[in-house]
């Protein structure tokens, strides 16, 4: 009897197991959800709302702040519809999609509108800038415009002889209402001063004519005004195109400059203004008169000079007038009548008042009738040259530019 009971119990259990095995658990419907594309942007942005998990073939509404937008789901319970973020929306905006029995939400982050940039000034003394990442870094140039209270009229950037013509960068500068100031350096970046392949006599002999012609043709085809600052600071000894280094002899610089100028000009690049730009003269620098290619080869004479203050062991605080007046005087002697551009300048904070220096710089240059403008080196490099290295520096810079616009 006991054995029969065991057999019956086992049979019943097996039968129940088979029956249970045939029963599948009910799958819960997927929860409704929506996604926003994009999920961040300014008020007034167009946004696509994608939803899943809603009732099939149902009508619904997307609510975004005070605005609502109708939609209808597919047989799968999904939908996609376009909405517009209300113009008055700020901060985190909840966007909700709902049908009669189902709803889901997501958050759109409203970003504040970018501040309107001030225009380029029409003042006689023009303001230009160089920034760390060049013309394609729009945010850096926007920052400069807001700091200065005006957008720069020129943007300085650098290319070496290995690089193709910078058409994209020049387009970016022109789109901002500015003129590109391209420093074209006849060497390979990172190779140091001793680069015999780039000696001045090699340039004059035509070793790089293929690249020079390419640049000339591209600049000519581009067609808009561009300032070309070739082989700058040639009166120093830190670049391989200086005389007295890299095997260069006296007279080689002028011959190389004239050759490059003639090759580019022969391509029809009449939109190019040639900027001859030495460093401010210093004890031991090469005499400028022997480096000047002649008025027929130069459109603008430029001058580079920085107030290092006490940021270096060899340097001391120098006023804008003491820094630039000797070079400007030489320019007036060797290149009378040519416009003068301070092609690179900035001040350190160390050793004096940078705010006062900024004010004095603009005041001094604005008083020189042949100085057309200056380009501020807005970088943190050997020193903190930036306009906003301090609040007082930034405020003084902006005030000085405002005063010169009013004069």
So what's the pLDDT on residue 407? 87
91 within 8 A of 110, measured Cβ to Cβ: yes
* C-beta of residue 274 within 8 angstroms of C-beta of residue 223: no
pLDDT digits 0-9 by tens, 225-239: 999 999 999 999 999
Query: Has residue 222 got a pLDDT over 70?
Result: yes
Checking if the pLDDT of 8 tops 70, the result is no
Report the percentage of the chain scoring pLDDT > 90: 91
Q: What is the phi/psi pair of residue 262, to 5°? A: -65, -40
Tokens (6 digits) for 342: 């301070």
C-beta of residue 261 within 8 angstroms of C-beta of residue 213: no
Residue 15: pLDDT over 90:
no
Rounded CA-CA distance 134/377 in Å is 11
Instruction: Give me the half-sphere count of Cα atoms (radius 13 Å) on the Cβ side of residue 62.
Output: 30
Nearest by Cα to 140 from 318, 379, 328:
379
Best CA proximity match to 369, nearest among 396, 336, 406, 322 = 336
In angstroms, the CA 134 to CA 83 distance is: 37
Identify the bridge partners of residue 70 per DSSP, sorted by sequence position.
61
φ, ψ for residue 61 (rounded to 5)?
-140, 135
SS3 of residue 312 by DSSP: coil
Could you tell me the two tokens for 347?
């001040």
What average pLDDT does range 294-305 have in this prediction?
98
Two tokens, residue 295: 């008025």
Give me the torsion for CA of 385, 387, 393, 397, rounded to 10°. 130
Whether pLDDT at 7 is above 80: no
Cα separation of 214 and 267, whole Å? Answer: 9
**What value, to the nearest 5°, has the Cα angle with vertex 10 and ends 6 and 13?**
140
What does the alpha-carbon distance between residue 178 and residue 225 come to, in Å, rounded to a whole number? 10
Would you say 233 and 282 are in contact if contact means Cβ atoms under 8 Å apart?
Answer: no
Residue 340, pLDDT score: 98
Beta strands 91-98 and 103-110, pairing class? antiparallel
Q: How many CA atoms lie within 13 A of 338 on its CB side?
A: 29
Contact in structure between 355 and 348 (CB atoms under 8 Å)? no
How far apart CA 352 and CA 343 sit, in angstroms, is: 23
* Pairwise CA distance, residues 214 & 104, whole Å: 59
Q: How confident is the model at residue 24 (pLDDT cuts 50, 70, 90)?
A: low
Mean residue pLDDT of the chain comes to 93
Convert the pLDDT of each residue in 118-169 to its tens digit: 999 999 999 999 999 999 999 999 999 999 999 999 999 999 999 999 999 9
Looking at residue 18, what is its pLDDT?
40
Contacts of 65 (CB under 8 A, 6+ apart): 85, 86, 88, 89, 93
Q: What is the mean pLDDT of residues 182-206?
A: 98
Are 73 and 79 in contact by the 8 Å Cβ rule? The answer is yes
Report d(CA 105, CA 53) in Å as an integer: 12
Best CA proximity match to 242, nearest among 282, 289, 210, 198:
198
pLDDT of residue 325: 98
Confidence of residue 88 (pLDDT cuts 50, 70, 90): very high
Residue 316 CA, distance from chain mean position: 32
DSSP 137: -
Q: List, for residues 238-272, the tens digit of each pLDDT value.
A: 999 999 999 999 999 999 999 999 999 999 999 99
Q: Which two tokens stand for residue 141?
A: 């140039």
**Per-residue pLDDT, 119:** 97
| Residue labelled with tokens 């022997």 | 290
Indicate whether 299 pLDDT > 90.
Answer: yes
Spatial CB neighbours of 175, under 8 Å, sequence gap ≥ 6 = none
Q: Which residue in the block uniquely carries the two structure tokens 């050997």?
A: 382
> What CA–CA distance (Å, rounded) separates 305 from 129?
14
Average pLDDT estimate for 273-281: 98
Place of tokens 């031991």: 284
Return the pLDDT at 115: 82
* In contact, 310 and 264? CB cutoff 8 Å: no
């Amino acid at each position: 009897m006991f054995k029969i009971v065991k057999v019956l119990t086992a049979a019943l259990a097996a039968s129940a197991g088979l029956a249970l095995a045939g029963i599948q658990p009910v799958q819960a419907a997927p929860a409704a959800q929506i996604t926003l594309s994009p999920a961040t942007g300014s008020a007034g942005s167009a946004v696509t709302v994608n939803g899943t998990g809603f009732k099939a073939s149902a009508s619904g509404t997307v609510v975004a702040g005070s605005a609502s937008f109708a939609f209808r789901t597919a047989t799968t319970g999904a939908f996609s519809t376009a909405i517009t973020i209300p113009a008055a929306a700020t901060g985190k905006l909840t966007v909700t999609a709902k049908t009669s029995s189902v709803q889901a939400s997501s958050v759109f982050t409203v970003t504040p509108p970018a501040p309107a940039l001030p225009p380029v000034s029409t003042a006689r003394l023009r303001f230009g800038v160089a920034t760390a990442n060049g013309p394609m870094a729009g945010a850096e140039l926007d920052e400069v415009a807001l700091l200065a209270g005006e957008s720069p009229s020129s943007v300085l950037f650098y290319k070496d002889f290995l690089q193709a013509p910078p058409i994209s960068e020049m387009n970016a500068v022109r789109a901002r209402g500015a003129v590109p100031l391209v420093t074209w350096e006849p060497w390979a970046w990172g190779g140091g001063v001793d680069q015999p392949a780039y000696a001045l006599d090699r340039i004059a002999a035509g070793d790089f004519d293929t690249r020079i012609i390419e640049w000339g043709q591209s600049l000519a085809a581009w067609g808009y005004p561009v300032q070309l600052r070739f082989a700058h600071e040639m009166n120093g000894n830190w670049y391989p195109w200086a005389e007295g280094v890299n095997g260069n002899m006296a007279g080689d610089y002028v011959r190389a400059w004239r050759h490059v100028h003639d090759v580019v000009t022969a391509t029809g690049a009449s939109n190019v203004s040639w900027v001859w730009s030495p460093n401010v003269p210093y004890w031991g620098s090469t005499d400028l008169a022997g480096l000047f290619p002649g008025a027929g080869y130069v459109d603008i004479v430029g001058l580079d000079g920085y107030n290092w203050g006490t940021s270096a062991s060899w340097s001391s605080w120098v006023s804008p007038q003491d820094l630039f007046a000797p070079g400007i005087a030489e320019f007036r002697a060797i290149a009378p009548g040519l416009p003068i551009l301070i092609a690179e300048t900035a001040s350190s904070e160390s050793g004096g008042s940078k705010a006062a220096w900024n004010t004095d710089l603009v005041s001094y240059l604005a008083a020189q009738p042949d100085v057309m403008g200056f380009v501020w080196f807005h970088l943190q490099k050997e020193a903190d040259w930036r306009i906003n290295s301090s609040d007082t520096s930034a405020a003084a810079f902006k005030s000085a530019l405002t005063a010169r616009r009013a004069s």
